[in-house]
Copies of this chain bind each other. A is one copy, B any other.
């Protein structure tokens, strides 16, 4: 098979993405605004119509063989069942399809595979709006966020994995003539080097970011020569099913085996996750989800000697020390904790504030004033019908609502109770404004747990130094995906940078305006440092791709 045309077609994309990835500069191959001007004036309406047309029917379009029975238990967090059913495949069928497809995929060059990956993404991008609605009504994200997170942002993360994998598999030349001088004679060998894939990948997805968190592992596996099985959460199948259907269609168009990318489905009561992870045909594991399941997946991987890439969860901290403009800071923080109701792995949970107050220029603002203002900001968002509902979105999992009840029973001082939020057009939406409480620094038993959802703790401290020490310890013990520090003191910024980087967390300093600590940009921000208990992987450092293949060489003696 010859993919030279495809390689040429996408060469500019690869070049641009690879350059941005190395330089860590801003780059987006797919624009993030869900705008008719960019994606076509009817794109939104068409996407919504496609979404509505999928409901209450068997999902059509997958080219994956060997299905046995069907499943489907998705419900929109906005308050209605989707009623879509999906085929189900046994673990053995998925494995044998993967092993067959692996033979074909292994034989392609890294350049061919990278070009094919981009073609897969480009064709699937035509479904961005339907993917957005599918994501909104499975995860509970507001539409704009759902569009961006599962569309352009996820696709850019996939492209990032593709160019990083391409760089790593082609770092060493693939052939050479090696001549060793030995005094009066010399020896010549022809050498060839092969980036040999480790074998089928299984990417286990989560219920909140079904595409964004799964694409990196899938595409890092694909570009390095491994086929992939994408195991979706039983309550959040639709967005990935749509992508896989598009991918399989493109693979078939290109004369390739559609089973190079397979969907794996199951139910809440009969999960296949562990059986799939343990299957001997599966050689590489990617996982995003809860620490408990993640730790079991890591244990399976260790037992079986499989490379594993995990993002579990952490406890993200904020330190407030001194500010230029307290309003701008609190606006930013209030939005960060409100966005998708704290259901982002990157959302802050614990905010450390000196009891002595915050310096704003020469002015000292009392601790009580700071927390009162913070609560006001959240109230304002909750009371803003245009802003609040779309920012909060809906709660993906009923357990998160129960967590709101549990947290109010802890030994904390409630500063703001969560309140039901009306989502227009969706009367039964599971939607709440954030809960905020003060907890003593002496109660890590409360605040050093992850309270996934719209739950924020304010923790008064003696000093910046105490806050930094506390956050350092928390990162080492509980892990963190992000940390935010607000200070106008260069010495404290430097101290925080040195300490927290060594603890293994990325740090955002003084974020205000339309940029939030929760956000992690493809080609620039390493997501999940891989250096603390929140997970062992990072989108997309070199380790994220180099552990998916081996370099193996052949040497042929040339008689001279």
Binding site for B on A (CB under 8 A): 21-26, 33, 106, 167-168, 171-173, 176-183, 185, 187, 189, 191-194, 196, 198, 298, 302-303, 305, 324, 493, 497, 501-502, 504-515, 521, 524-526, 529-531, 536, 538, 541-543, 546-547, 550-557, 559
- Chain B residues, CB < 8 A from A194: 501
Is the pair B511, A557 in contact by a Cβ cutoff of 8 Å?
yes
Looking across the interface, which residue of chain B has its beta carbon closest to that of A187?
A: B515
Is the pair A24, B502 in contact by a Cβ cutoff of 8 Å?
no
- Chain B residues, CB < 8 A from A180: 26, 515, 521
Is the pair A542, B553 in contact by a Cβ cutoff of 8 Å?
no
Is the pair A171, B553 in contact by a Cβ cutoff of 8 Å?
no
CB distance from A473 to the nearest CB of B (A): 16
Looking across the interface, which residue of chain B has its beta carbon closest to that of A497?
A: B554
- Tell me the bound Cα distance from A526 to B529 in angstroms: 29
Is the pair A106, B502 in contact by a Cβ cutoff of 8 Å?
yes
Task: Give the contacting residue for A550; candidates B167, B538, B551; CB below 8 A.
Answer: B538
Is the pair B550, A24 in contact by a Cβ cutoff of 8 Å?
no
- Tell me the bound Cα distance from A24 to B181 in angstroms: 15
CB distance from A471 to the nearest CB of B (A): 14
Looking across the interface, which residue of chain B has its beta carbon closest to that of A500?
A: B554
Task: Give the contacting residue for A26; candidates B178, B324, B543; CB below 8 A.
Answer: B178
Is the pair A24, B529 in contact by a Cβ cutoff of 8 Å?
no
Is the pair B555, A529 in contact by a Cβ cutoff of 8 Å?
no
Task: Give the contacting residue for A541; candidates B21, B514, B529, B546; CB below 8 A.
Answer: B546
Is the pair A176, B531 in contact by a Cβ cutoff of 8 Å?
no
CB distance from A199 to the nearest CB of B (A): 10
Q: Given A555-B508, A555-B509: A191 and B24 within 8 A (CB)? A: yes
- Chain B residues, CB < 8 A from A106: 502
CB distance from A495 to the nearest CB of B (A): 12
- Chain B residues, CB < 8 A from A192: 497
Is the pair A501, B552 in contact by a Cβ cutoff of 8 Å?
yes
Is the pair B504, A196 in contact by a Cβ cutoff of 8 Å?
yes
Looking across the interface, which residue of chain B has its beta carbon closest to that of A180?
A: B26
- Tell me the bound Cα distance from A180 to B546 in angstroms: 30
A-B CB contact pairs (8 Å), 16 listed = A24-B173, A24-B191, A25-B176, A25-B178, A167-B171, A172-B541, A178-B521, A185-B514, A192-B497, A196-B531, A198-B531, A298-B305, A324-B559, A509-B555, A541-B550, A546-B547
Task: Give the contacting residue for A552; candidates B176, B509, B531; CB below 8 A.
Answer: B531
Q: Given A176-B23, A541-B546: A555 and B507 within 8 A (CB)? A: yes
- Chain B residues, CB < 8 A from A511: 555, 557
CB distance from A497 to the nearest CB of B (A): 5
Looking across the interface, which residue of chain B has its beta carbon closest to that of A302?
A: B302
Interface centre among A525, A557, A559 (most CB of B within 10 A): A557
Is the pair B526, A551 in contact by a Cβ cutoff of 8 Å?
yes
Interface centre among A298, A512, A550 (most CB of B within 10 A): A550
- Chain B residues, CB < 8 A from A550: 504, 529-531, 538, 541, 543
Is the pair B542, A168 in contact by a Cβ cutoff of 8 Å?
yes
Is the pair A509, B556 in contact by a Cβ cutoff of 8 Å?
yes
CB distance from A19 to the nearest CB of B (A): 10
The 6 A-B residue pairs with the shortest CB-CB distance in the complex, in nearest-first order? A302-B302, A531-B550, A542-B546, A24-B176, A509-B556, A543-B546
- Tell me the bound Cα distance from A33 to B526 in angstroms: 47
- Chain B residues, CB < 8 A from A198: 531
- Tell me the bound Cα distance from A538 to B191 in angstroms: 17
- Tell me the bound Cα distance from A538 to B559 in angstroms: 29
- Chain B residues, CB < 8 A from A536: 305
CB distance from A338 to the nearest CB of B (A): 19
- Chain B residues, CB < 8 A from A497: 192, 554
- Chain B residues, CB < 8 A from A530: 550
CB distance from A107 to the nearest CB of B (A): 9
- Chain B residues, CB < 8 A from A303: 302
Is the pair A22, B172 in contact by a Cβ cutoff of 8 Å?
yes
Q: Given A196-B501, A538-B551: A187 and B513 within 8 A (CB)? A: yes
